[in-house]
Amino acid sequence: MSEETVNVPVYYNSLYRHGVDGKRRVQVPAKWRPSRPDVEFTLIVWPKSTHGPCLRVLPPEQMSHLMADINAMSNDDPNKVVLKRFIGSESAQVPLDKAGRICLPEEMAKAAGVKKEAVLVGLLDRFEIWNPNRYAAVRGEDQVMAGAAFTLME
């Protein structure tokens, strides 16, 4: 009898603070880890904060969605090649090690300002890795904007 594989979705919620070791490895929370051992996350240096970039972490299905969204753009749109070039050059595939850690590439960790401590922030379908000081500033801005954002859900 064969075993049926059930795909249970992973939701990236909550906030975690973890140390970063000398090899730039950071622990991924157990509930955020994929059930299959061969899954790689895509790390992207995400420049959209006024406080400096963070690392956006996409599971494979979200990376596929991102690529589909970019590929759906018109070939006449100059942003299409800019996005492909930027994401292609500012991203890396990283596996989980047996201890549930990912290794942050040196240049990416430097760009995000991640050194001895990291804040992992769930975005429901993906997560981000922040320098603690940058995240504190972003969180303050998020709290100011949250009231208006939540009115969109009514």
Tens of pLDDT, residues 70-105: 999 999 999 999 999 999 999 999 999 999 999 999
Q: How far apart are CA 21 and CA 124, in angstroms?
A: 26
Tens of pLDDT, residues 112-133: 999 999 999 999 999 999 999 9
Tens of pLDDT, residues 38-59: 899 999 999 877 888 999 999 9
Token duo for residue 147: 């009231």
Q: What is the pLDDT of residue 142?
A: 80
Q: What is the pLDDT of residue 1?
A: 43
Cβ pair 122, 14 in contact under 8 A:
yes
Reduced to 3 states (helix: H, G, I; strand: E, B; else coil), residue 123 is coil
Q: How far apart are CA 62 and CA 56, in angstroms?
A: 11
Cβ pair 129, 118 in contact under 8 A:
yes
60 φ, ψ (degrees, to nearest 5): -55, -40
Q: How far apart are CA 78 and CA 76, in angstroms?
A: 6
Whole-model pTM above 0.75? Answer: yes
Q: How far apart are CA 117 and CA 103, in angstroms?
A: 13
Share of the chain above pLDDT 70, in %: 95
Domains recognised in the chain with CATH numbers = 15-151 (3.40.1550.20)
Angle, CA 52 vertex, CA 42 and CA 11 arms, to 5° = 40
